[in-house]
Chains A and B, each alone.
Chain A
Amino acid sequence: MSKMALSLTINGERHDIITEPHRTLLEVLRGDLGLTGTKENCLEAECGVCTVLLDGRAVNSCILFAAQCQGRAVTTIEGLARNGTLDPLQQAFIDHGAVQCGYCIPGMILSAKAFLKEYPDADEGQVREALAGNLCRCTGYQKIADAVLAAARPPAHR
């Protein structure tokens, strides 16, 4: 099994790794780079806990070869807060009680982040539709939807 050299840009930082072609982006993030904020579960793109942003779009990192991500920008949950300040979505999740066990949360926040960038005026139905690929077993999704809507329309801007 021959290895290949890959140069990946994760959260704005370049990482040069040498690995087998079959390694997925998820395996490289969690295993090689120690970025365990992106989670693993079904490994079949059914649950969404592995969601990251690829060039700003939400994708399941469990079914992407790391090799497919060369030359593209990967954003994980670790890359969201800036200089210690939480992203408004992260703060909204805290404020609205949208976090229970938390395992689905990194993927959920990233899906929401990508969606709100494109559809800042979404209503609850559209928010739920955007998050339909992220399963949560704890919350029933309600406070998650509330948090995303609140982050989209912060009080100062109303």
Chain B
Amino acid sequence: MTTKTMRVVGHSLPRFDAPGKVTGTAVYAADFALPGMLVGKIFRSTEPHARVVAIDVARARAIPGVRAVITAADVPDVRYGGGIKDETVFATDKVRYVGQPVAAVAAVTPEAAEAALASIDVVYDPLPAVLDLDAALAPGASLLHEEWRSYTAIPIFHRDGNVCNRARIVVGDVERGFAEADRIFEHRFRTGMVHQGYTEPRAAVAQWDSSGTVTVWSNTQLPFEVQNTLAEILAIPPSKIRVVVPGIGGGFGGKLRVGVEHVAAFLAKKAGRPVKVLTTSDEELTAAYPRQGTVVELKTGVTKDGRITAKSGRIWFDTGAFAGSGPGVASVATLVLAGPYRIPNLHLEGVAVYTNKTNCGSYRAPSGPQANFAVESQMDVIAEALGLDPLEFRLRNIVREGDEGPTGQVLQAVGLEECLRKAAAAIVWDDRRPGPGRGKGLACGWWTTTGGSSGVYVKINPDGTVALNTGAAEIGTAALTGAAQVLAEELTVDLGDIGVVSADTFSTPFDFGAQGSRTAFAVGNACRAAVTDLKYRIFALAAAQLGVEPAACALADKHVVADGKRISLADLARLSQQTGGGLIAQGTFIAAPTAYDAKRVDGHAYPAFHSPSFHAHAVDLSVDPETGDVTIHRYVVAQDVGFAMNPKAIEGQIEGGVAQGLGQALSEEIVYEGGRVVNANLTDYKMPTTLDVPRVETILVEHPSLVGPYGAKGVGEPPNIEPPATVANAIAAATGLRVSVLPITAEKIALGLRDPGAAVSDSG
């Protein structure tokens, strides 16, 4: 990590895509349109679990203006999916959740499309519905996937009937660890299903050309993965599919995988015209990829002076009708359940379970808020029982530089203590209960910077501007601005000199996708690799022009300087274009795998946190004892970001992540009754407004990553993790009431204060 002053990185420069967004000229997938485009809509199951006896689309096909009506009979018989290939485009013999696609229509007007949907007749023969985790796991439970054994799946997954994975971490001997403990604490927690809440619906426009190639404009976060999935589903080679991302209005993990792209492609093929499919709010809240609801059981043993000796636990993910991200998320969860603590004996399991609900997916730090809510709530209960300050209890157990993580990885750049101490100081932790009904809480955690590969092309234009060509999609985090800052820094140009082209599977290099807080990290590193290559060419050309040795050359202020002479990058680029094909280079980056102890894990898709970040949140709030309303006075986040590439952009990520986290903590839940969502609209799915989110004070801590660009770590997901536990701990401090179910609504608090039922069980 160099100490020289940075010109571009480390500065809060305005993001390069802001002007288009504030003028309304930036085009999002939901805005994208082609001449002659048809409106596509999806016909969805109204049964949670049923055999499909008959589908009749004849009436729909006859409606004027309707150009295509398709069902499973019209598409290849393919099963696709991430870890487990259990999904079909349309329901075949069975429907497995209310909202599952059964058919689709394309028509000239929205009204004709709606009329077509209303004219499709389906006969269902209802089956016993598996409505929750208990029902799914009960002996003799109705199987969602009778042929689960025949599905192609990642071999390490442990699958059994309605369980689509069981991931495990085992370290030491928990029974011996519990025997060594002076006190043992057992608790159970529950968290609800929540939606990413992006303000732009999922959208896709598909168009086939005469060579049998389909182009799909979509707001997917993973254009290359969608390209591959479409190839499987359409049964054509990936080279016949082009996925382009014009712009994304928020993703947060909900727009990773195919949502409507496949339907648009099939409809466009059948109709012979481009087709646009856009989801509605109702469809988003019933048939998207929300965050799984969970049940967590946690048992922790401690000595009387507050040292953790053992922890065992299990987290069940209600992952819905198809596995989706469930198996992988169940794996990640075990690392969150361990927490950033030194625990010699661990037995932690993550279990993903099928139920007759929408198939859940990934949402900003998948498994993070749920597992962290359990871990950090229990830490406070234990601290109180031992008569210890919750901060002090954590400081006695947190990991330090060079420690082993739960799966044996060596932890480096561990900024956790600094985060905890700074967050506590900022909230004035010494005064934890400033008044009646008022209390402070804190929580901490750790998270990964996902690996995967990223490639870029970099070209210097004859006017000295620079073109950055990346396969990554900008989902709003300003990650591409960060990567461009890295590029500008390395080339000694300004951020304003960089133009970015992104996310086109035909013309941009492969990128693993905008997920797992990896984009600025990986694309930034790819840019550095590209500059290394580019410098070779630049210096060779400059050396010839200036009559110096390449080794004497250096970049400074948009020029090559050597032995007191200089030549501009613009001149070199112009020269190169005339004589040598231009100054272009390619750079790739793939994160080296993090070493871990394979003997400790089983069924595990994510056995280590790469270049981990550490964070602590603290809150000061009051509770109205009669109504249960929570008023947040101050909220503080201290996050170890490694190196702050763009402090203002990172603050924005933290402020937004906390807002989403508070929504999960206090008001959001997709509510199912009898297998149907009862609040599938934004009136009753309560996301925070301007008046519900406090100002967030951010403290950026820097323990530089050994592998990130300038030491940067992933920053986007972490702020979503700690809010539920932070708030629950403060509410307990303020009222004495421990709520172990999310969301912690005013109703739960008010009723709980009047009758504190067994919200938490304690066998200490």
Contact = CB atoms under 8 A, between A and B. Distances in A.
Interface residues of B, number: 57
Interface string B196-214: 1111110000000000000
A78 B252 contact: no
Task: Decide if the interface of chain B is mainly helix, strand, loop or mixed.
Answer: loop
Nearest to A133: B689
Nearest to B687: A135
A96 B14 CA distance: 8
Interface in A87-137: 90, 93-97, 99-106, 109, 128-129, 131-137
A133 B278 CA distance: 23
Interface in A23-55: 30, 35-44, 46-47, 49
B631 interface: no
Contact of B22 (A38, A39, A43, A109): A109
B476 interface: yes
A140 B658 contact: yes
A78 B652 CA distance: 25
Contacts of B196: 137
B611 interface: no
B331 to A, nearest CB: 27
Given A44-B683, A142-B655, A80 B689 contact: no
Interface in B632-675: 648-649, 651-652, 655-660
B249 A102 contact: yes
Given A39-B199, A78-B24, A81-B23, A140 B687 contact: no
A43 B252 contact: no
B200 A41 contact: yes
B681 interface: yes
B506 interface: no
Given A94-B14, A136-B199, A101 B24 contact: no
A137 B25 contact: no
Centre residue among A80, A105, A145 by max chain B CB count within 10 A: A105
B656 A105 contact: no
Contacts of A141: 655, 659, 690, 693
Contacts of A47: 199, 682
Contacts of A103: 28, 198-200, 249-250
A83 B693 CA distance: 37
Task: Decide if the interface of chain A is mainly helix, strand, loop or mixed.
Answer: loop
B592 to A, nearest CB: 31
Contact of B690 (A94, A97, A129): A129
Contacts of A129: 690-691
B14 A139 contact: no
Contact of A46 (B33, B248, B681): B681
Contacts of A109: 22
A77 interface: yes
A4 interface: no
Contact of B18 (A40, A94, A134, A135): A94
Given A77-B23, A100-B478, A132 B250 contact: no
B514 to A, nearest CB: 11
Interface in B134-172: none
A143 B656 CA distance: 10
A76 B248 CA distance: 21
Interface in B12-56: 12, 14-15, 17-28, 30-31, 33
Nearest to B19: A94
B169 to A, nearest CB: 33
B652 A128 contact: no
Contact of A138 (B12, B250, B278): B250
A63 interface: no
Contacts of B249: 39, 101-104
Given A138-B476, A142-B655, A43 B24 contact: no
Nearest to B249: A103
A97 B12 CA distance: 9
A95 B648 CA distance: 10
Contact of B655 (A35, A78, A135, A139): A139
B176 interface: no
A100 B22 contact: no
A18 interface: no
A99 B199 CA distance: 13
Given A46-B681, A49-B199, A97 B22 contact: no
A86 interface: yes
A43 B656 contact: no
Contact of A145 (B19, B28, B658, B690): B690
Contacts of A99: 15, 17-18, 21-22
A137 B24 contact: no
Contacts of B23: 37, 77-78, 80-81, 86, 90
Interface string B429-469: 00000000000000000000000000000000000000000
B59 interface: no
Centre residue among A42, A135, A142 by max chain B CB count within 10 A: A142
A30 B198 CA distance: 20
A94 B22 contact: yes
Contacts of B485: none
A131 B688 CA distance: 12
A86 B18 CA distance: 12
A41 B24 contact: no
Given A76-B24, A142-B696, A93 B18 contact: yes
Nearest to B203: A40
A140 B693 contact: yes
A139 B656 contact: yes
A41 B199 contact: yes
B280 interface: yes
Contacts of A144: 690
B477 A100 contact: yes
B656 A137 contact: yes
A132 B194 CA distance: 21
Nearest to A110: B24
Interface in B601-642: none
B532 interface: no
B79 interface: no
Nearest to A131: B690
Nearest to A125: B691
A104 B198 CA distance: 10
Contact of A142 (B12, B27, B31, B695): B695
B281 interface: yes
B107 interface: no
Contact of A104 (B31, B199, B478): B199
A44 B18 contact: no
A106 B24 contact: yes
A117 to B, nearest CB: 18
Nearest to A80: B23
Contact of B200 (A77, A78, A101): A101
Centre residue among B17, B25, B689 by max chain A CB count within 10 A: B689
Contacts of B278: 40
A111 B281 CA distance: 22
A19 B349 CA distance: 59
28 contacts: A30-B31, A37-B23, A38-B24, A40-B201, A40-B278, A41-B199, A44-B281, A49-B200, A77-B22, A78-B25, A93-B22, A94-B18, A97-B15, A99-B21, A102-B26, A103-B199, A103-B250, A136-B199, A136-B656, A137-B198, A137-B660, A138-B250, A139-B652, A139-B655, A139-B659, A142-B693, A142-B696, A143-B652
Given A47-B682, A101-B476, A136-B656, 16 more contacts: A36-B24, A39-B31, A40-B201, A41-B199, A41-B200, A44-B681, A86-B23, A97-B15, A100-B250, A100-B656, A105-B21, A133-B689, A135-B197, A137-B198, A139-B659, A143-B648
6 nearest interchain CB pairs? A37-B24, A101-B476, A103-B249, A102-B21, A140-B659, A140-B655
Interface of B: 12, 14-15, 17-28, 30-31, 33, 196-201, 247-252, 278, 280-281, 475-478, 648-649, 651-652, 655-660, 681-683, 687, 689-691, 693, 695-696
